[in-house]
Structures are given as C-alpha cells and as structure tokens.
Amino acid sequence: MQNLQEWLSQPPRYTTFRVNKLKKFDCDSLNGFLKTKSKELNTSALPNFYFIKSDCLVLEQWPEEVEVKKGNKEVIVDALCAAAVLRGAHVFAPGVMGMPMNCQLGEKVDIYGDMEGQCKRGLKITFEGKKLFVGTGVLRMLRQDLFDNGVQPSGIAIETLLPVSRLPVVNETICPPGVLLLQNLPSIVCGWVLNALPNENILDMCAAPGNKTTHLGEMSNNQANIIALDKTPQKSEKIKENCIKQGVSCVNAYAFDSTKCCSLDSNNVDNGPPFPPNSFDKVLLDAPCSGLGQRPQLNNKMTPKMLESYKFVQRKLMKAAVEVLKIGGKLVYSTCTVTVEENEGMVQWALEKFPCLQLIPAEPLLGGPGLRESGLSDAQRVMVQRFSPEVDPLRLVEPIYRDSIGFFIATFTKTH
C-alpha cells in the first residue's frame, strides 16, 4: 500500500495529448513552441515527443540538465492548483492564496502549494504552514487584481516556466482550436477499448465534459450515432461546446439522469432519453467515482462515508446500461480510482446481478491485470485492466502504462 501511496503523490513523468484525426496536426508547431521555451530556460536541450498511435501524442520531461532554480519571492497556491502545476499547467487566478506586497509584473516567482489548506486568501507575508515547492513562473497578475477588487478573478496569474516535475508547460493553444486535447493516457485507451465504428448506435452515459465522447466521434470518422448524457443543462452544454470545438457533429447531447435512461414506454432512440431496452450497440459507462487515481494527490479530503457512497450510484448506472444494451452489444465500464470496491468489486457484483452479462477482454490490454485477492479469478483478472504501479506476472506491461493516473477498465457483452 505504501508503494501505491507514494506513486499517487507523484505526477506522471510525461504528458499525453489526444490528436484529433478529423483535423490536421503539424508537428512543426510543437517543435517551434518547445524551441522557444528552451531559450526561455537558457538551454539547448529539448524534451522528446512521440506517438503511441496516430491519435495519442506523448511528451516527455525536459532532460535532467534543465534545473528548477528557486530563490525568488514566494506565491502560495491551493493544493489542487499545485497539483496542476506539477502536471505542467499555468497558475490560474482562483488558485492563488497568498502573494507578497512588493511583487512586479513580469517578475520571476517561486510557486508553493498549501498542503493542509491553512493559508487564508490574500496573505501578504511569508506563509509558515506546511508548503511544497512545485515550480517557478512569471507573474502576470498583481495583488489588486487577485484580492482587492471584490470580484472573482479569472485568467492566468502566473505563467509557469518549469515545474519541479520538469514536465513541459504545453497546452492546446499551440495549435488551432480542436486539434490537440490534453487527456490522460488511460482515458485515451478507454476510447480504443470501446472502438467506435461508423453507423453504430453508442451511448455515453456520464459524458461531461465530453472528452471521451468526442474521441468516440473522431474514431468513427464522425459517422457513429452517439448519444451523450449528463445530469445538468450546464454539463450537456459543455459537451456540445466541446463537440463544436473538435468538429464532431455525430453527437446528440442531453441533460438527463442516466440511472433513468431506460423505459419500457419509449419506442424510439431518436426521440431522446429515456430509451427502449436493447437500443445501443455499445455503451460507455465512465462512472462517477472517488477519483483516487488522480496524480499527484497532495491533499486528499475523501471521507470513508463519501467513499462508501459511490458504489450505489455506480450500481444504478450499471443496471441502466445493461437494460439499454443490445444483445451481443459491448459495455465498457471505467473509473479513475484505485479502490477494489469501485473496480473489481463492481465487476464481480455485475456478473452476479446480471446473468446476461459476460466479461470479455478489454482489448487492447495495455494496463496491468486486476488486483490479486480482489474477488476475481485469474481468468477474469486478465480480462480487465488496471493502471497502477503494480507489477503482476499475469500480464507484464510497458513502463508508460504503469506511470499514468490510476484507472480501471472492464468490458462486458450481453448474451441474452
């Protein structure tokens, strides 16, 4: 367990982008951006990048010779913001907690994360609580912009130069809109597992903000019939916005509770939710979960009661997914957490609860097998994939898939 805890406290050593196959990506734009950044860091070295598949770009750390040098004025950010900096993000205004009085625009600053949530917003002096140095950056907002005008600030407060993780600070803006999308590697793998094809009827049950939804649309060459659901109008609007940005037009998004997405009184998928039983060729249930696979985790506030609550909604969603799935159809279940109860335990529960379900290999099998002593047999463990630091002889995997976020994928088919 200690190994897992240490792993979760560290960021992955690379960044992944999903490349939109419906648009044109020019590697020269990334190369040019990295060369500009190397000058800012006073180095001639460049980080390596490569493709796993045509839609998955991997960007590695800056070489070790590129050093993170601290010794500037300290800016305190909240733990969530600090974790994002370690993943290669800029500091956005809402994340800033404290800043000295005498800072200047364009000045280089040290970025520290407030590890215990003790820093009061607007701190003017040095923070004495538990803090973690996460990188250096250039100040783009002053105190009066952040704390003194009575309005919730927005925008980039600090342009991160170099995180302690040495991950390049690169985002989608280096290309035209919709060409690149920052996305965790297992989330991209999840799309490969579902493998959306033209003319298939596909349901994405918990779709917001639409990153997996748009991947499915792109994989099908914009020719699948995809329904995307999430509970609120704000979330369904976000899905629609991302589809427009990505150039995906084969998705219909609705604000709807997916636990109620099946109804015997419905007779046509085209009318929107709820849907008749046996409506979809493929269903993606990327379930709401405890999120304990996110890395790095610097300040986890999950309580046992909160942790216990997730399985109940996951089970309701699984029941609905089984009902709307066609006989012979494919159901992909995924989470971004590491608990057995939400992963292998859900697989075991589903197989016992629904005799019509059969576990099948979640191919391509790139993550490790399910955990030992989790309630699954070895034959079942090898069909699912768990992204974690575990090394299991049942299926040895490439190092990159053991240095992602914590994630789980299982695939079922409906036999009758």
pLDDT at position 342 is 98
Average pLDDT of the residues of the chain: 95
Supply the pTM of this predicted model.
Answer: 0.96
CB 74 within 8 A of CB 110: yes
pLDDT at position 264 is 94
pLDDT tens-digit profile of 109-143?
999 999 999 999 999 988 999 999 999 999 999 99
In whole angstroms, give the CA distance from residue 224 to residue 214: 11
Position 398: which residue type? E
In whole angstroms, give the CA distance from residue 143 to residue 88: 24
In whole angstroms, give the CA distance from residue 142 to residue 101: 9
Q: How many CB atoms lie within 10 A of CB 355?
A: 9
Spatial CA neighbour of 167 closest among 80, 84, 44, 56: 84
In whole angstroms, give the CA distance from residue 294 to residue 235: 21
Asked if residue 150 has pLDDT above 90, the reply is: no
CB 275 within 8 A of CB 324: yes
Catalytic pick from 243, 261, 262, 336? 336
Strand partners, 387: 407
Q: In percent, how much of the chain has pLDDT > 90?
A: 90
Position 90: which residue type? H
Q: Which pair of tokens denotes residue 379?
A: 């034959």
Q: What is the DSSP string of 319-384?
A: HHHHHHEEEEEEEEEEES---TTTTHHHHHHHHHH-TTEEEE--SS--SBPPPTTSS--HHHHTTS
- If residue 313 lies in a helix (H) or strand (E), which one and from where to where? helix 304-324
pLDDT tens-digit profile of 370-414?
999 999 999 999 999 999 999 999 999 999 999 999 999 999 999
pLDDT at position 53 is 97
Known binding residues for S-adenosyl-L-methionine: 206-212, 230, 257, 286
pLDDT tens-digit profile of 75-93?
999 999 999 999 999 999 9
pLDDT at position 202 is 98
Helix (H, G, I), strand (E, B) or coil at 264: coil
In whole angstroms, give the CA distance from residue 129 to residue 123: 12
Q: How many CB atoms lie within 10 A of CB 273?
A: 20
Asked if residue 1 has pLDDT above 70, the reply is: no
Known binding residues: 206-212, 230, 257, 286
Could you identify the residue written with the tokens 């575990």?
A: 390
Angle ∠(216,217,219) on CA atoms, nearest 5: 65
Average pLDDT of span 20-45: 94
Q: What sign has the CA pseudo-torsion 244, 246, 247, 252?
A: negative
Position 135: which residue type? G
pLDDT at position 57 is 97
Task: Read off the pLDDT band of 178 (50, 70, 90).
Answer: very high
pLDDT at position 3 is 87
Count Cα neighbours of 76 within 13 Å in the Cβ-side half-sphere: 23
pLDDT at position 252 is 98
In whole angstroms, give the CA distance from residue 85 to residue 280: 40
What's the order of all strands across the beta sheet hosting 49-53?
Answer: 49-53, 56-60, 14-19, 180-182
Asked if residue 334 has pLDDT above 90, the reply is: yes
Average pLDDT of span 268-278: 94
Q: Where are the beta strands (DSSP E) in 191-286?
A: 201-204, 225-230, 251-255, 280-286
Asked if residue 60 has pLDDT above 50, the reply is: yes
Tell me if residue 336 is catalytic. yes
Task: Read off the pLDDT band of 181 (50, 70, 90).
Answer: very high
The pairing of beta strand 131-139 with beta strand 56-60: unpaired
Q: Which pair of tokens denotes residue 295?
A: 């890395």
Average pLDDT of span 215-240: 98
